Amino acid sequence: MKIIVDAMGGDHAPQATVQGALDANRLHGVEVVLVGRMAEVLKAVEESGEKTLPAGIEIRDASEVVEICDDPATAFKKKKDSSLTVGLNMLKAGEGDAFVSAGSTGALLAGATLLVKRIRGIRRAAMAPLIPTAGGRAVLCDCGANASCTPEYLLQFAYLGSYYAKRALGLESPRVGLLNIGAEDEKGDDLRRETVALLKQAGEAGRINFVGNIEANEAMMGGADVIVADGFSGNIMLKGLEGTAKFLLKELKKVFYANTKNKLAALAVKKDIEGLKKLLDPSEVGGTVFLGISRPVIKAHGSSDARAICNAILRAKEFAESGLIEDVEANIDLMKLEKVELPS
């Protein structure tokens, strides 16, 4: 298993990406190809304490970098020798099993869609992070790739998320819920109402385990294993969750440091608090998969440190080994709506 990593993508690149790759290789035996400016990558390897390139680590030179200020839709075309473009072309050519980048989300999505291509029949790729819930974890699909959606897109997201939950979470029949402003079928806008009808049909046919509309608060309490959303709503939910987690941890810290008695209490529950922080830390997940792309592509957070990059590489390895893409390809006919011919 060989993972291609955009060594120049992210706020802390290349040092964080290089260190994360070295850790994934040393601790978990993952082979990694680092794509980026050769001199800068080698310097980062040296600064990480390695005098020579370890076995299982390769470097592919790429002279350009996609910057955050570049137009996401065209950056991978204009900068053909960028670490992102070179890495995606390597994935397309079969020179690696998955691609990881902490760089521009828009450029990565555009490049993955136009270079690596979507699975035939998939209308739009979706970003699907695993988020913590009271029931464990859930797949949120989509969380930002598609702000505007059609009912068919959301139907496909339900299937994609369901297959992913089966593989990533080990669930035989993951519960699929449509994110909405109420549980009743008539709630929400036209998009939600039309999508509910399609998902109910798929559920009644036994193709997915659809549990109906679900509000964000119920979703966080574990009401569904797959939360289907357009990218606009899904991104708001995800950012709200991240902000709430930071707020609660900050307030807990204030409580525990308020006085001596509370500090003693903090010592008593230190391990439990560390477990809570780990549960809410996006770095533990590492990366978000792009569902619907024909080869595994994983987006790491832009501010990823070495631990997050290492975990993103492990997520990529799991994704590549999961067989999820084969699941989608085998069932693509169930995921498409028949086109109605308009009278001439």
| Predicted pLDDT at 338 | 61
Structural domains in the chain plus CATH codes: 1-122+292-335 (3.40.718.10)
pLDDT > 90? residue 39? yes
pLDDT grade for 4, boundaries at 50, 70 and 90? very high
pLDDT grade for 339, boundaries at 50, 70 and 90? low
pLDDT grade for 342, boundaries at 50, 70 and 90? very low
Tell me the three state secondary structure of residue 329: helix
| pLDDT tens by residue, 45-98 | 999 999 889 999 999 999 999 998 889 888 888 999 999 999 999 999 999 999
Give the DSSP letter string of 86-149: HHHHHHHTTSSSEEEE-S-HHHHHHHIIIII-BPTT-SS-EEE-EEEETTEEEEEE-SSS-SS-
Q: Do 291 and 128 meet the contact criterion of CB atoms below 8 Å apart?
A: yes
| Predicted pLDDT at 306 | 95
| Predicted pLDDT at 74 | 87
Tell me the three state secondary structure of residue 173: coil
Question: If you search the block for the tokens 């832009």, which residue do you land on?
Answer: 302
| pLDDT tens by residue, 138-177 | 999 999 999 999 999 999 999 999 999 999 999 999 999 9
| Predicted pLDDT at 248 | 87
Among 227-231, 266-270, 300-304, 331-335, the range of highest mean pLDDT: 227-231
Find the farthest-apart pair of alpha carbons in the chain and give their distance in angstroms, rounded.
Answer: 81
Q: Give the C-alpha distances (Å, rounded to integers) separating 204 from 13, 133, 178.
A: 48, 26, 16
Average pLDDT (246-267) is 87
Q: Measured in Å, how far apart are the chain's first and last C-alpha atoms?
A: 53
Q: Which residue has the higher pLDDT, 281 or 341?
A: 281
| Predicted pLDDT at 3 | 98
Q: Do 146 and 123 meet the contact criterion of CB atoms below 8 Å apart?
A: no
**In percent, how much of the chain has pLDDT > 70?**
96
| CA–CA gap between residue 98 and residue 92 (Å, rounded) | 10
pLDDT > 80? residue 194? yes
pTM of the full predicted structure? 0.91
| Predicted pLDDT at 340 | 39
Q: Which residue has the higher pLDDT, 83 or 255?
A: 83
